[in-house]
Structure 1
Amino acid sequence: MRRGARIVKLRQPGLDWGMTSPLDVLVVGAGPAGLMAAETMAAAGLRVAVADRMPSPARKFLLAGRGGLNLTHSRPLPGFCDAYGAARAPLAPIIDAFPPAALIAWCEGLGQPVFTGSSGRVFPTAMKASPLLRAWLARLGGLGVTLLARHAWRGGDRFATPGGEVSLPSRAKVLALGGASWPRLGSDGGWVSLLPGVAVVPLAPSNCGFAIEWSEHLRGRFAGTPLKRIALSFNGRTERGEAMLTATGIEGGAVYALSGPLRDAIAAGGPVTAMLDLRPDIARDALAARLAERRGQSLSNHLRRAAGLPPVAIGLVQEALRGGADPGDLAGLVKALPLRLLAAAPIARAISSAGGIAWSEVDEHLMLRAHPGMFVAGEMLDWEAPTGGFLLQACFATGRAAGLGAVDWLRRA
């Protein structure tokens, strides 16, 4: 970071914080949305600083990079925005203005080439976030952006720092404080109480696991074991992928893809049942034919040899049989094994958040109607998306849109 954006640390209240001219815009939050807003505004000639409560920027972005940093998805427009469900209408014009191709070009412009995987997901060739972040901070530094570490927003112009509370006035603000997932990395949802009079849809876990009451036997033997090439169905939707049994339930890509409807159904009426297909690549009738003759084998051997099930899947079938499932329809059980989901995982353990500032509270430039000159970006807004690149794409795109909105507003002010 020595060659990147300049980090200024305040040591006491009222200390000059390094600005030689009045600040045009203060960005609050140094994640992808906030940094993209800062770059957009600084490139337009504005004097910009970014304040963040953590000691260093983009901590959640760096964590995402440990899994390869899935920047975006190659799904073409306009179908790309179908991934955002109820938020499709407000997000579509924002993403149309900064689509996946633009995000890819931006990444490559920072010297980080990308590739598209077989699933359509787009990753930096480096398969991590740190090289991209270093290059990005260097660009921001070249644009004159200042980063203010350990500055926790307290509403208005007030910030808590290790040396006490300070006031950081600016002509405009961009808030990019995230949702409430992974709070130890910076986004704890505390901003909700700092925006009185602004309607906020309650924050909820998204892309999360779910609690299941496993038997002691299943938990002790298979917690931490992956389920590969499965499909999960709920309420008419089926998602293929992988999952993992945990000591308290189940998580993983196929589960995350259905986490929104599962979460909402549980909130509305209590525990729900999802159906797990342990062999989605074979039709039920064909599987039934394979399982028709057991020939004196143990159930485990029969399921392993005839159905090709791994030990963890066999354990799930046996668990269902102990719970009262029909032993005369093994094929049906393998193709539709019921999972009783009790509750969504806590938001602190979710990959992302649902809920946020209602779209009715912002104009087309993402400015808060109740607070002229204050713009909002990223997961603070009321949207959610599946993993696969859709999360970061919307964060980058809304950050750019808020930055452009602030540029336009200041020019007209």
Structure 2
Amino acid sequence: MWILRLTQTVCAMSSATPNIAVIGAGPAGLMAAEILAEGGATVTVYDAMPSVARKFLMAGRGGLNLTHSEDLTAFLSRYREAAAWLEPAIRAFPPQRLREWCEALGEPTFVGSSGRVFPVAMKASPLLRAWLRRLDGRGVRFELRHRWTGWDSEGRLTFRAPNGPRAIVADAVVLALGGASWPRLGSDGGWVSVLAAKGVAIAPLRPANCGFTVAWSDIFRGRFEGQPLKGIALSFGDRSARGEAIVTRGGLEGGAIYALSAELREVIAQTGEAILHVALRPDVSPAELIARLSAPRGKQSFSNVLRKALQLSPVAIGLLQEVAKSQGLSLSSLPPERLAALINSVPVRLTGTTGLAHAISSAGGIAREELDEDFMLKRLPGIFAAGEMLDWEAPTGGYLLQASFATGAAAGRGASKWLKL
């Protein structure tokens, strides 16, 4: 009857300062810890890794895209089915407030040409150091190398710690353990079985913002692995994305691919494959393509015609040749009209995802109906959850971190409210 004991403990508190355990030292957990410490609670953050916020630091290697500057209505739409659920938390801690929070830590931000928001320092480490100094000043403690294993029969939190098993008494708990992408950085989804054993409904964790596998020929793979397809447009069904993709040894990845990953992943799960269409020159009209392809070639090789007349890169030409060969076609024999259509709709057969371990983020997690409006688990009073362990997903572009910060703040406020801080 550990839930009853937890409730009784809280109800019995008077002048005693409540003791809060935050499990997970990523952005969601640290934000919850900050909110709770501001409210006067004694907060201890537990994490399985030897240092905090490892995935956050890794994200900073690419410039640390914190959030996005677009209109909030458009911003919220990026969360798709989860938008209505996340909206109150994001409106309470919107992109502008996140930018102000960074500024208060001495790390100003700027809006890039794409509308994405970055710290001026273009990395995570200065922001994290300033944040940890603030948390330390507010009395937040850290217990690292503590892997959460659940609860014991008396309702105490249990951990595998450096000196052996530990049992911790807490007046409330915020779970911010992340999803299951990049498990070597700490978020391995081990919490799923712990909560499932308590009857909590959890949508299966799946890769999001991930790459996809393609059965490249040895020739194409050997020549073009690691090269970018730039300035392309991708389409799948009624969805499209602009940007670039990287040819990998086993397939394709990159920003434009990630934007369509949810739809591609679901179709592959149902049918075993998905056909992605790649427009190599999306800004050139069909008529213009046909005109350029119809011009006299002289003594030029066909590859030189594609390179000079259409400004196709070697990897783009290679992709055309790869797909044409798989279909038994000779590019040089195709009439201009058909070749022009192929150039802006190259069908690439995707056969699978590159898996959770290499995905930027994960879909799935604690189901919406398991949480109340304060992000408390209905089955487990006093236990709150935030961040990527909840059942939502979003594209890259700042949406992932924004929702992690916002739900962490919401869970912190929810725990403060429950404790009557």
> TM-score under structure 1 normalisation?
0.93
Question: 2: distance between equivalents of 1:191 and 1:311?
Answer: 46
Once superposed, what is the RMSD of the aligned Cα atoms? 1.1
Q: CA deviation at 1:79?
A: 1.8
Q: CA deviation at 1:22?
A: 6.4
**Among 332, 337, 345, the residue aligned to 2:341:** 332
Match of 2:96 in 1: 101
Question: 1: distance between equivalents of 2:229 and 2:314?
Answer: 10
Answer yes or no: is 1:250 the counterpart of 2:255.
no
- The residue type paired with residue 259 of structure 2 is A
Q: Secondary structure of the residue that 2:45 maps to in structure 1?
A: strand
Q: CA deviation at 1:297?
A: 2.5
Match of 2:74 in 1: 79
Question: 2: distance between equivalents of 1:369 and 1:317?
Answer: 54
How does 1:146-295 map onto structure 2 within 5 Å? 146-156=141-151, 157-195=157-195, 196=197, 197-293=199-295, 294-295=297-298
Question: 2: distance between equivalents of 1:397 and 1:360?
Answer: 19
How does 1:331-410 map onto structure 2 within 5 Å? 331-410=340-419
Q: CA deviation at 1:292?
A: 1.2
Match of 1:306 in 2: 309
Aligned length, in residue pairs: 392
Question: 2: distance between equivalents of 1:267 and 1:217?
Answer: 29
Spell out, residue by residue over 1:322-381, the C-alpha distance to the aligned partner (whole angstroms, 9 max, x if none).
122473321111100000000011100000000000000000000000000000000010
Answer yes or no: is 1:140 the counterpart of 2:135.
yes
Match of 1:8 in 2: none
Asked if the contact 1:22/1:170 (under 8 Å) is kept, the reply is no
- Over 3 Å off, 4+ runs: none
Moved more, 292-301 or 189-198: 292-301
Q: Secondary structure of the residue that 1:280 maps to in structure 2?
A: coil
Question: 2: distance between equivalents of 1:319 and 1:298?
Answer: 18
- The residue type paired with residue 69 of structure 2 is S
Spell out, residue by residue over 1:164-197, the C-alpha distance to the aligned partner (whole angstroms, 9 max, x if none).
1001110000000000000000000000000120
Asked if the contact 2:17/2:41 (under 8 Å) is kept, the reply is no
Q: Which runs of 5+ in 2 are unaligned?
A: 1-15, 152-156
Match of 1:15 in 2: none
Q: Secondary structure of the residue that 1:78 maps to in structure 2?
A: helix
Question: 1: distance between equivalents of 2:324 and 2:160?
Answer: 57
Q: CA deviation at 1:321?
A: 1.7
Question: 2: distance between equivalents of 1:36 and 1:337?
Answer: 45
Q: CA deviation at 1:236?
A: 1.1
Q: CA deviation at 1:46?
A: 0.7
- The residue type paired with residue 273 of structure 1 is I
